[in-house]
Chains A and B, each alone.
Chain A
Amino acid sequence: MTATPGLLDRYRAFQAQRAARETAAGWADREVAGGRSVGRARERAARLAELLDGAVDEHPDGLVVRVESPELAVPLDRAALATLPFSIDPQRPFVCLDTETTGLATGAGTVVFLVGLGRWDGQRFRVTQLFLPDHADEPAFLGILAAELPPDAWLVTYNGRSFDWPLLQARYRLHRRLPPAIGGHLDLLPVARLLFRHRLPDARLSSVESGVCGVERIDDLPGAFVPERYLAFLRHGEPGYLREVALHNEQDVRSLARLLGHLGEVLADPDGRPLADPGDLGRLARAYARQRRDEEALACFDAAGATLAARSMPDGPIGLEVLRERTWLAAERARLLRRMRRFDDALAGWAEVTRVGGRAGARAWIEIAKLHEHRRRDPAAALAAVDRADAMIARARLGGRIPAGLEADLAKRRARLRARLSRRRVRDAPAARLGWGSP
């Protein structure tokens, strides 16, 4: 805060002016200011509706501008979606929801002035936008929104779990009403972070849309400008400011639908997977694996592997990126196989990883050593794997630094294996085997 010269003076002058104005205007004008001047509000709403090609919904407690966009075909494979490891119930009506607000702070003074709702009718997708023409119309706005949402609606949002939906709930609470009940909520932001972030500059909806669905927006209004547009509309009643805001919101709702469509058609559907990015599939596999849905995870890894193999077939050397991606996938897949107790397959998987050499190769040899030591009870083979890892590290050291932990791990492992082998030589084999036990 900087020093404000004469706040007291300015306020007193202002008060005097205001008193003079009121006396001059007399009591009649005060009445108007106190009660609702219906005419002005209606005019404002009508102008907004006209601009956006919408209609004014009149409600006992206020006005709401409703804009219906033309229907669009957005295919949706509900059955496939249901197989994804995310919170989706295909029986419920999906409602894509995106809000525009007067600020990013989530306090009680931030108002939702536009809600875009996207709903499917079969494969046809339709966007409805509800506009708040004035602060005073909020009760009507909330009432109509509640009526638009079926009680078992399955919300599809982008960051809606921590922003849009709590903010809407707060608006209902502020008016001392119950927030509408919903059936469930799929927030696509964490999904996008999980599946696509690895190949995108950021996880904003527009970036995901262009990177994943290949849709580029033209002249999109940056979200940061949205609040000031609405506040300017409130101040001056000029709806022109809001045309781009409406467009931006509509595009966001459509993006949600397309993204959901992509998830169903390309990632969830085995027939669509050849079209998917192998990296995305790898991440999806990991999400399955985390839910212990190992077979589905393995199917994803295999699909990803097949795509990669197909892509790297042609002539000669492959790019570093592809190599890194392939190594990552192979390692994740081998780790999954080990967990599924398919040890031989896991060994084969790690053997594939060792081919890249370097640190990743050395780590793979360590995994092979573990499998030989603990699963196949073959310390000699394990020791051989440790040697291979050592050799790989020795080579990698020429190219760069080796993490200290890796070498320490190897040294420990080698010492233990040698001790084991020498004991085994001394004692007779079957008795010694009891001593190792299962880990």
Chain B
Amino acid sequence: MRLYAPAPADAVLERLLADPEAGQHFVHVRRLPERPARLVDPPTWLDERLRAALVGRGIERLYSHQAEALEALRAGNDVVVVTPTASGKTLCYNLPVLQAIADDPASRALYLFPTKALSQDQVTEFRELSTAARLEVAASTYDGDTPAPVRHVVRGAGQVVVTNPDMLHSAILPHHTKWFHLFEQLRYVVVDELHTYRGLYGSHVANVLRRLFRICEHYGSRPQLVSCSATIGNPLELAVRLTGRSPVLVDRNGAPSGARTIAVVNPPVVNPELGVRASSARMSAGLALAFLRADCQTIVFGSSRLQVELILTTLREALREGRGPWQRVRGYRSGYLPTERRAIERGLRNGEVLGVVSTNALELGVDIGRLDAAILCGFPGSIAGTLQRMGRAGRRERPSVHVLVAGSSPVDQYIAAHPEFLLDGTPEEARLDPENLHVLLAHVRAATFELPFDSGEVFGPGPADDLLAFLAEEGHVRQADDGRWYWASENFPAAEISLRSAAEENVIIIDRLGDRPQVIGEIDIFAARLLVHPKAIYLHGAQQYHVDELDWAQRKAFVRKVDVDYYTTAELAVTLKPLETFAEGPAAGGNRAWGEVMVSSLVSMFKKIRLETNETIGWGPVDLPELEMHTTAYWLSLDDDTVAGWRRDELDAALVGTGRLLRTVAAVLLMSDRRDLGLVTQVRSPHVERPTIYLYDAVPGGVGLAERLFERHAELVAGARSLVLVCPCTRGCPSCVGPSPDASPVDGKAAAIRLLAGLAGAGEAVSHAARPARGRRAGRPARAGRADTAAVQPAAR
């Protein structure tokens, strides 16, 4: 009983393009032909049972990149595989691992995935293959959810242990003596989703891998490394820096793909005076509806949890009215319980779920099969991220459609105007700095705990002796009479380092009406303040709940089902307050300094917005504690002379633009990720009473990034200046200062260039005496400042 006519995704798109109403908003369409598979026979040395298992699963021949990876591993190399989503990467490591176990049942392998969900997936997939090959292999996850009795078994008998870097760091390596079976026989280390290990997190993981290989060497094994990455600008470089090995790059994709169409849609201007465009969420929902009605499996990516729920609500309403399959459209985001998520993933794989609206939670390689259409509501912020989300659609035998619906932000509008930036640009590079002193020292401590260091023993870039001697001064490490360095403290150093900076704490959401109280979801404490503050309308699977009470101390939100015609959105204010200046010095055009700051974020009010019209119909205060973070920052404050005669809006645009340039250059100079640095600009800082740009360590306590920026100030400014000068855009673009809003009279790029000229050369001769600000405490926080909140509030997962 279907009221909807099934059609292939490309036909649906053509229909949309031909439609005079919908078609006019498509600003760019690119059609890519289908690509045949490049197939090769499985290597002759592959075990009979494995070949049979492959044939049993319908795989007669391998894709060329799979065979390439297999041969490279066979020859004893390490390998990094870089091919698109769902190109059969897992076989690149599951086959060699099973081959090793077929050759010698004592062989073992360690798999690392960034999340527990991915680990679960992989174990399931691995077991399917090993069962098909009639090989008995003990494969198991080992993470925070593993019950104690099972842990004991996995330690002793697990042949394939699937875990995450955090668990390896805090639970496996420090207790390696309980894992000697694994480490003595370790043949392969698999690191999938390599691209997620960038910035500070990547720097930590690189050091965890150093510790891993050190333990392996102690137990006499030298495992080969198989790593896989999504498409990024520098996969090989990332693999080398992360793993310290020199892997062979396998990036010639042999997997087939059906014809693909990529389109960019820009919602129309609905209010020319104010330059307001139609809602991208509504537009995305409208497009998705067309695909869903044609029975095309569709994924819609929203940019926030709230947006996901709103799009989901719209879709379900529209489908329900037309008696469509509204129950087969689901939401997917962090905050849903794991069981609910697993059910949705399964539904997507077997086709029961027709449409899914997701945050970036589905960007990672969770196995949901391949879909017909992917619709991105808003630019995800990076080319690599866009490719990954689009890669969720694309079947081998059928055409697929990928649509980016631009939002109203300047960046999105830039993409809409210059789609080639997205479609022909190089994906971003992933950077990390394993030699960051804070990180390195922390892991040298952990490594010493695990195994004493020989005198002259190399850890990372060179002998660790200097680092160890430095640690010995604080007493946690000592050099014994045999010249070796031993851990000499009661402390457990791995417990003192958390690899991820994001808070692990959750607020659980409880529906206390109904038969009995029921937990409907969980949400991290950063997002909880925005989504489940008292009186909020919390959307979960398109169902509205009113938040009656948020028990902050108990981390519980109590909600009840409601049916109202509005939703709520809360506003987050980020403020930065310098606490102490560690050092400062003159700089052209102003002063540079670094010191300790307090960054606080506060949710102070929420708005009620009508669902149909998006008009604000009310507001209310939110009374929740401020979240505070002490960290280190580098800041640049401008002399009044430098900006004499500037208009306030010009100065604001110049500071923001320059701040973004400095942050981009800083990430390159320090080999970190943009996420690791927060940016705040203030037209008049209450602390120094001058225009100021702050870049701060986005981790509590800081990891020395600010200090190094302070030292490399001149390079930073020079880099920012050359970056903006060589950028071919006219009024700013995402690669430089950020696009200027259409309606703004200020040319942000010109303003930034003018400011940087003042900071770079002209004022060099003018010296400014350092002001005696050391140790001075600021009186009040800089509430007036502009902040880039991305670094304080982790993006929706």
Contact (Cβ within 8 A) B631 A3: yes
- Bound-state CA distance A1–B438 (Å) is 11
Q: Across the interface, do A18 and B450 meet the contact criterion of CB distance under 8 Å?
A: no
Contact assessment for B482 and A231 in the assembled complex, using a CB-CB cutoff below 8 Å: no
Shortest CB-to-CB span from B733 to chain A, Å, is: 34
Which of A103-111, A196-204, A293-301, A346-354 lies at the interface?
A103-111
Give A114 to B566 CA distance when docked, in angstroms: 70
Within 205-264 of B, Cβ neighbours of A (below 8 Å) are at 218-219
> Is B437 in contact with A8, judged by CB distance below 8 angstroms?
yes
B412 at the interface (CB under 8 A from A): no
Query: Which of B294-302, B487-495, B539-547, B782-790 touches A?
Result: B487-495
Residues of B within 8 A of A227 (CB): 490
Which of A7, A40, A170 has the most CB atoms of chain B within a 10 A radius of its CB?
A: A7
A4 touches B701 (CB 8 A): yes
Contact of B438 among A7, A102, A108 (CB under 8 A): A7
- Stretch of B284-292, B465-473, B635-643, B671-679 that contacts chain A: B465-473
Cβ–Cβ < 8 Å partners of A14 in chain B: 466, 469-470, 473
Contacts of B595 in A (CB 8 A): 5
Question: Which of these binds chain B: A29-37, A122-130, A405-413?
Answer: A29-37
Please provide the chain A residues from 84 to 132 with a CB less than 8 Å away from any CB of chain B in the complex.
Answer: 102-109, 111
- Asked if B700 is at the interface of the complex by the 8 Å CB criterion, the answer is yes
Q: Mark A157-195, 1 if CB is under 8 A from B, else 0.
A: 000000000000111011010000000000000000000
Q: Which of A18, A174, A234 contacts B478 (CB 8 A)?
A: A234
Cβ of A134 within 8 Å of any chain B Cβ, yes or no, is yes
Q: Does A235 interact with chain B (Cβ within 8 Å)?
A: yes
Given A18-B466, A108-B176, A170-B177, A3–B701 Cβ distance below 8 Å? yes
Chain A residues in 8 Å Cβ range of B448: 109
B320 contacts partner chain A, Cβ-Cβ < 8 Å: no
A3-B632, A33-B455, A135-B478 given; A106·B483 CB < 8 A: no
What B residues does A35 contact at CB under 8 A?
A: 482-483
- Cα distance, A237 to B218, chains bound together (Å): 30
Please, which residues of chain B bring their CB within 8 A of the CB of A422? none
Tell me the nearest residue of chain A to B707, going by C-beta: A8
A-contact bits for B457-499, CB 8 A (1 contact / 0 none): 0000000001001100101001111111011111111101000
A231-B470 Cα distance, complex, nearest whole Å: 18
| A259 at the binding interface (Cβ < 8 Å) | no
Determine the distance from Cα of A109 to Cα of B595 in the docked complex, in whole angstroms: 35
Question: Is the Cβ of A102 less than 8 Å from the Cβ of B490?
Answer: yes
Flag whether A60 is at the interface (Cβ < 8 A). Answer: no
* Separation of A76 and B482 alpha carbons in the complex (Å): 44
Query: How far apart sit A235 and B483, CA to CA, in the bound complex (Å)?
Result: 14
Chain A residues contacting B630 (CB-CB under 8 Å) are 2-3
Residue pair B488, A234 in contact (C-beta under 8 Å): yes
Assess the A108–B175 pair: CB atoms within 8 A.
yes
B449 located at the interface, meaning its Cβ lies under 8 Å from any Cβ of chain A in the complex:
yes
Kindly list chain A residues whose C-beta atoms are within 8 Å of the C-beta of B470: 11, 14-15
Say yes or no: B178 contacts A3, CB within 8 Å.
no
Contact between B482 and A36, CB atoms less than 8 A apart = yes
Task: Let me know if B481 and A109 touch, CB within 8 A.
Answer: no
For B174, give the chain A residue with the smallest CB separation.
A107
A11 touching B177, Cβ below 8 Å: no
Give the residue of B475, B596, B711 whose beta carbon is less than 8 angstroms from that of A3. B596
Nearest CB of B to A260, in Å: 29
Q: How far is the CA of A227 from the CA of B438 in the complex (A)?
A: 27
In the complex, A228 has a CB within 8 A of chain B: yes
> Do the beta carbons of A169 and B701 come within 8 Å of each other?
no
- Let me know if B492 and A103 touch, CB within 8 A: yes
- Do residues B486 and A135 form an inter-chain contact, with CB atoms below 8 A? yes
Contacts A3-B702, A108-B176; is A103 near B481 (CB within 8 Å)? Answer: no
Q: Specify which chain A residues have a CB less than 8 angstroms from the CB of B324 in the assembled complex.
A: none
> Is B157 engaged at the interface, CB distance under 8 Å to the other chain?
no
Contact with A along B170-192 (1 / 0, CB 8 A): 00001111101000000000000
Chain A, 220-262, CB within 8 A of any chain B CB: 227-228, 231, 234-235
| B494 partner residues in chain A, CB cutoff 8 A | 107
Q: Give the complex CA separation of A109 and B495 in angstroms.
A: 13
Report chain A residues within 8 Å CB of B701.
Answer: 1-4
User: Which residue in B177, B438, B481 is a CB contact (below 8 Å) of A37?
Assistant: B481
Q: Which residues of B contact A173 (CB under 8 A)?
A: 177-178, 180
Indicate if the CB atoms of A103 and B177 lie closer than 8 Å. Answer: no
Choose from B475, B481, B490, B491 the contact partner of A134 (Cβ within 8 Å).
B481
Residues of B within 8 A of A4 (CB): 438, 701-702
B residues less than 8 Å from A8 (CB atoms) = 437, 704, 707-708, 711
Residues of A contacting B519 in the complex (Cβ-Cβ under 8 angstroms)? none
Of A7, A104, A136, which one neighbours B437 at CB under 8 angstroms?
A7
A-side contacts of B486, CB under 8 Å? 111, 135
Q: Name the residue of chain A whose CB is nearest to the CB of B597.
A: A3
Closest to B488 in A: A231
Which partner residue on chain A sits nearest B171 by CB separation? A107
* A6 beta carbon closer than 8 Å to chain B: yes
- Nearest CB on A from B676, distance (A): 15
How far apart sit A134 and B176, CA to CA, in the bound complex (Å)? 22
Answer whether residue B609 sits at the interface, using C-beta atoms and an 8 A cutoff: no
Residues of A within 8 A of B410 (CB): none
Query: Is A107 in contact with B492, judged by CB distance below 8 angstroms?
Result: yes
Residues of A within 8 Å of B479, CB to CB, are 33
**Is B583 located at the chain interface by the 8 A CB criterion?**
yes
The one of A1, A9, A18, A41 that contacts B700, using a Cβ cutoff of 8 Å: A1
A199 CB, nearest partner CB in chain B, Å: 31
Say whether B582 faces chain A, with CB atoms less than 8 Å apart: yes
Interface centre among B180, B482, B582 (most CB of A within 10 A): B482
CB atoms of A108 and B481 under 8 A apart: no
Q: State the CA gap A174–B175 with chains docked (Å).
A: 10
Cβ A40 vs Cβ B481 within 8 A: yes
Mark B340-354 against chain A: 1 for CB-CB distance below 8 A, else 0: 000000000000000
Q: State the CA gap A264–B583 with chains docked (Å).
A: 72
Q: Does chain A have a CB within 8 A of B452?
A: yes
Closest to B448 in A: A109
B22: Cβ under 8 A from any A Cβ: no
Q: Nearest Cβ distance between residue A170 and chain B, in whole angstroms? A: 4
- Are A102 and B488 neighbours in the complex by a CB distance under 8 Å? yes
Task: Determine the distance from Cα of A6 to Cα of B177 in the docked complex, in whole angstroms.
Answer: 37
Measured between beta carbons, the chain B residues less than 8 angstroms from A7 are 437-438, 441, 704, 707
The answer on a CB contact under 8 Å between B478 and A106 is no
Q: CB within 8 A of A6: which of B174, B180, B583, B631? A: B583
A1 to B219 CA separation, bound complex (whole angstroms) = 33
Complex CA gap A415/B592 in Å reads 88
Bound Cα distance A102, B489 (Å): 7
Q: Let me know if A174 and B707 touch, CB within 8 A.
A: no
Residues of B within 8 A of A1 (CB): 496, 700-701
Q: Is B451 an interface residue (CB 8 A)?
A: yes
Closest B-chain residue to A230, C-beta based?
B488
**Complex-state Cα separation, A38 to B470, whole angstroms:** 25
Which of B441, B702, B711 is the most central at the interface, judged by chain A CB atoms within 10 Å of its CB? B702
In the complex the two chains form, what is the Cα distance from A293 to B54 in whole Å?
58
A-B pairs, 9 with minimum CB distance: A109-B449, A1-B701, A136-B482, A107-B174, A173-B177, A170-B177, A109-B487, A135-B486, A103-B490
Q: Which residues of B does A touch, CB under 8 Å?
A: 174-178, 180, 218-219, 437-438, 441, 448-452, 455-456, 466, 469-470, 473, 475, 478-484, 486-494, 496, 582-583, 595-596, 630-632, 700-702, 704, 707-708, 711
Can you list 24 A-B contacts with CB-CB less than 8 angstroms, sorted by A residue number? A1-B701, A4-B701, A5-B582, A7-B707, A33-B483, A36-B481, A36-B482, A38-B481, A40-B481, A41-B481, A107-B450, A108-B174, A109-B493, A134-B480, A135-B452, A135-B482, A135-B488, A169-B177, A170-B175, A171-B177, A176-B219, A234-B480, A234-B488, A235-B475
- A residues near B, CB below 8 A? 1-9, 11, 14-15, 18, 33-38, 40-41, 102-109, 111, 134-136, 169-171, 173-174, 176, 227-228, 231, 234-235
Q: Other than the known A34-B455, A103-B490, what 6 A-B pairs have Cβ atoms closer than 8 Å?
A: A2-B701, A33-B455, A102-B489, A108-B174, A108-B176, A136-B484
